[in-house]
Structure 1
Amino acid sequence: MAASVPQEELPILETVINIRNRLTVLKKDRGEFIKAQDVNSLYQAVVKQVTKLNDVRDDNTTYNNRLDTTLADVFSLLSLFYLTIGKTKDTPATYCQIASMRQILNHMNESTVYNETDLAPFHKRLNELRQILQQDSESGKHPKALVKLLMRQLNECDAIVTQLQDSLSILSPELVPVHQRLVTIRRQLVALAAKEGSHKAELKPLQEELRKIDSARVDGKFLGPGGIVPASQAICISLLEESFEIAQEIKAHEDSKNVGSSLKPIYDRLSDIRAELESLVLTHRWTLRETDLWNYSLSLQEIDKMRVDGKFIDSEGNRPPGQYVLLYLLRRCYGLIYRLLSSSEPVSEELMPIANKLSTVKKCLNEVLKYGGPFNARDLYPYQLALFQIDSLRKDGRFIGLDGTVPEGQGIVMAHLNECHELVEMLKESMDEEETEEEDYEDEDDASDLDDGDD
């Protein structure tokens, strides 16, 4: 339960709530692009309040009141705004990514279904985010208090990754192949449980493989070379038993709904969120404003808080069937949000239409170059016109925003533009070569005709 807010913190809380409301209004405004100066002014306002808060608080005490939760909301929103305006390598932009990673890692720790391959991307991304924080700390670009806060949260994620790696390190080398295969099978089973319809054809080979793995045990133990009993049996055995349970649950609900009726509203809500997030993964370059992810994150957190001891319960305190399905959907949604956050490009929202158009032009030009001619100057005209229109948007070599500022992402957009011009020149050269070959061929024909006439 959150503690009450002390009297000296109430003015700070009131100001922070006001900032959160302004951020929410800015997030909902789809009439115009988000301006970097608006985001920066709100960021500076938050920094001012955090400084005041640090003055009235003790560094050695852990606080958790309404002000802390409101500040967490504000930092999450600001982080998404930083991604939206293309400042992906600034300290504030790391906040939502670290939070998203922590949620996924906690779920992985809870489920114990992971291997070294799963942990490697998290380890790599944490190192990248650490470099961003260290660079900003050394340059003094952002307040030390904020960098310190984010570095602490990043270290917490790092500690979870280390803990997960340590739990795998106790796995005997002889059992690593069995463990990896069981992790894969369990994931396939959970994904199968979340699908509608009949799964007999897909379920049967997975069950057969589980039985094959189970039959390899002697007196309930997995054996290594020479009949030795490797350590860490419990990890593989618990995975095996859990996989059998999921398979039985799928089979038991083959002719009925996958989820208990009392959990159906949660299932429907998670299914809708997953469908929308998967759609964003496919179309995010054109349709996603990173701040849109805020509502999805809030919804998932609300659903996650419904669990009691890791399980969803009904009004009578029972645990209805379909737990694995809901947990799969929940973790899948967290994974999709993290994927969208980590794939955000350092290009501001205002320049994204230009960047997307150039990406499309580049893709088309590469296809034309790949499959070759014959083609002529008329075929290249639409691409040249598109590039001319984009070129004409520049002032003094840069793309300028509506408010006269220089949006983030100039380097990336210019790189795309230059690459498109190079592709056009390559196509022109290949077109000239074809014309030269045709002229040479015609000259040979003319010479041949003259020779025939002489004869």
Structure 2
Amino acid sequence: MGAPIVPANETAILQKLISIREKLTAIKQDRSTYIKSSDISSIYDQIIVEVRKINHIREEPSLHDEQNRVDVVLDDVFQLLSLSLLTVGLTRTAPATYASLTTVKRLLDHLCESRVYSENDLKPIQDRLNEIENIIERDDPTESAEIIQLIRTKANVCEISLKGLIESVAVVSPELAPTLQKLVSIKRQIISVGSMPKLHVTELKKLQEELRQIDNARVDGNFLSPDGNIPDGQNLLNGLLEECHNVLNDFLARKELVADSLRPLYDQLVEMKNQLEGMMLTHRWTLRETDLYNYQQKLQSIDDMRVNGSFLDAEGNAPEGQVVLLYLLRRCYALIYRLLVSSEPVSEALMPVQNQLSTVRKCLMEVKRMGGLSSTRELYPYQMKLASIDNLRVDGKFMIGNAIPEGQGLLNALLAEVCKFSHISVKC
């Protein structure tokens, strides 16, 4: 069934949101110049106006129950806005958290569905949601109350999902927590190895031996505590152990990685995973956060193709390869999440300067670790580089044309630290 028809009184809003989306997309695609904070702020003001119109029209609570194309386009707009704010270094603003919250919700849904997680997996997400909560609740008089409420609602949905996951692992006694974490790790390793185009039987056999050791440690089918008692959480751990055995045996007995009907999806997900893993290595130098928008859209499109959790073929059947595709899908979500949270409060315009300073700092720390330089003369190249960076400043600010990009405090602090450090890296 398609989305509800857009009401007549929301048609103008839809057209305006589509226009805003096109503007943000054009800015995202323009590689000839850096994204400017002023451009994004101007567009953000337009978004606030449209959100207020929507809220005014939808005063009746019942109108919030159904989503039409206005909501879909508004979500796209906020995704692009959020990523644009990250790109210009405004990471500590409420709307900048939108893309992160969207990815967190997908991750939580997949954790719930897979039932393969431990407290170690949930703690970083909980920390991130707490951080977002602090950003939302910060008393910022310049922020729109409507936008704050929109972000808060999205964060609340994530917190409810997280609470359910935390409660589900709370049934496991602390004595069994290490075993749970080990089983979670083994299952992920099994699926990771089993998802490779070439079957690595040796690696799977090693994991099979680890499972056998965990299995043999049980007494009468129970995991015991050091004092010989039977702690809580037996059903969860035994179920996970059985799942590990089943998945591993399926991979060892497989003839094909995925069915032919799922091969196009598999190829797409592998390509995205490889590209995102490449970004993890080079993001400090090459990543423009808005680039992640296309990946988010593709992943959500693939994810939404599932019916009752499975990818179906033309006949409506669920072919072989479901576990592999779901692993790749979840892996891509996790990579996007890590890239989002690693975004620093520095505009892309100043990232080259930050990278240079970080590199000089890293080199000097390594020199000190190795015992320091033999003479002050060997410090000259570092000091000359720092002097050239210092000369980029105008009245203590790093300028790009007439603009003062975000990240001044961080870069000035880093420059001061490295300059001070450069004077103590000579052997005594």
Shorter chain as denominator, the TM-score bin is over 0.9
Q: Give 1:284-433 correspondences, 5 Å limit.
A: 284-371=283-370, 372-377=372-377, 379-402=378-401, 404-427=402-425, 430=426
Cα separation, 2, equivalents of 1:37 and 1:105:
34
Residue identity opposite 1:181 in structure 2: K
Q: Does 1:8 align with 2:6?
A: no
Compute the displacement of 1:410 (Å). Answer: 0.3
Corresponding residue of 1:101: 104
Partner amino acid, structure 2, of 1:310: G
Shift of 1:386: 1.7
Select between 360-369 and 82-91 the one with higher mean Cα deviation: 360-369
Structure 1 residue 230, shift from structure 2 partner: 5.5
Unmatched tracts of structure 2, length 5 or more: none
In 2, distance between residues paired with 1:228 and 1:381?
66
Q: Which residue identity does 1:407 align to in structure 2?
A: P
- Cα distance, 1:68 vs. partner? 0.5
Stretches of structure 1 lacking an aligned partner (at least 5 in a row): 434-455
Give identity over the alignment, percent.
47
Counterpart among 77, 92, 103 of residue 80 in structure 2: 77
Q: Distance in 1 between matches of 2:232 and 2:124?
A: 27
- 1:20 maps to 21
Aligned twin of 1:160: 161
Q: Deviations over 1:347-367 (max 9, x none)?
A: 001111111111111112222
1:214-229 to 2 correspondence within 5 Å?
214-215=215-216
Residues 179 and 376 of structure 1, relative CA distance in 2, 3 Å threshold: closer
Q: Matched residue of 1:350: which SS? A: helix
Kindly indicate whether the alpha-carbon contact (under 8 Å) linking 2:120 and 2:181 is maintained by their aligned counterparts in 1.
no
Shift of 1:228: 7.0
SS of the aligned residue for 2:424 comes to helix
Q: What amino acid maps onto 1:417 in structure 2? A: L
**CA shift digits 1:67-118 (9 cap, x unpaired):** 0010000001000000000000011111111111111111001111111111
Does the residue aligned with 2:349 lie in a helix, a strand or coil?
coil
Deviates more, 1:197-206 or 1:321-330: 197-206
- Higher mean C-alpha deviation, range 34-43 or range 236-245: 236-245
Code of the aligned partner of 1:272: E
Amino acid corresponding to residue 91 of structure 2 in structure 1:
T
Secondary structure of the structure 2 residue equivalent to 1:58: coil
Q: CA deviation at 1:220?
A: 5.6
For 2:172 and 2:121, how far apart are their aligned partners in 1?
16
1:30-79 deviation per Cα after TM superposition (whole angstroms, max 9, x unaligned): 00001110000000000011111111112523240000010000001000
Partner Cα distance (2:234, 2:222) in 1: 7
C-alpha distance in 2 between matches for 1:416 and 1:222 = 51
Instruction: Give the Cα separation in 1 of the matches to 2:232 and 2:382.
Output: 64
The aligned residue for residue 126 of structure 1 is: 129
Letter in 1 for 2:321: G
Shift of 1:413: 0.8
* Mapping 1:143-222, distance limit 5 Å: 143-173=144-174, 175-215=176-216
Residue 277 of structure 1 is matched in structure 2 by 276
Provide the TM-score with structure 2 as the length reference. Answer: 0.94
Question: How many Å separate the matches in 2 of 1:167 and 1:154?
Answer: 20
Q: Deviations over 1:163-221 (max 9, x none)?
A: 01111122345644443332122111111111232422221232233334445567766
In the alignment, the residues of structure 1 paired with residue 32 and residue 403 of structure 2 have an alpha-carbon distance, to the nearest angstrom, of 18
1:370 offset after TM fit, Å?
Answer: 2.6
1:447 counterpart residue number: none
**What CA distance in whole angstroms lies between the structure 2 residues aligned with 1:109 and 1:422?**
49
Cα distance, 1:227–1:380 mapped onto 2, change above 3 Å: closer
Measured against aligned partners, the alpha-carbon deviations of 1:367-414 in whole angstroms (never above 9, x if no partner) come to 22332232452x333222222221111111111222x12110001111
Q: In the aligned structure 1, how far is the partner of 2:129 from the partner of 2:356?
A: 32
Separation in 1, partners of 2:178, 2:291: 41
- In the other structure, the counterpart of 2:251 is 250
Q: State the Cα distance separating 1:223 from its structure 2 match.
A: 6.2
Asked if the contact 2:373/2:379 (under 8 Å) is kept, the reply is: no
Give SS of 2:422's match.
helix
SS in 2 for 1:266: helix
CA contact (8 A) 2:224 2:230 kept: yes
Moved more, 188-197 or 109-118: 188-197
Cα distance between partner residues in 1 of 2:61 and 2:334: 34
CA RMSD of aligned residues (A): 2.0
> What is the SS of the residue equivalent to 2:3?
coil
Distance 2:217 2:234 in 1: 13
| CA–CA separation in structure 2 for the residues paired with 1:279 and 1:132 | 30
Normalised to the residue count of structure 1, the TM-score between the two structures is: 0.88
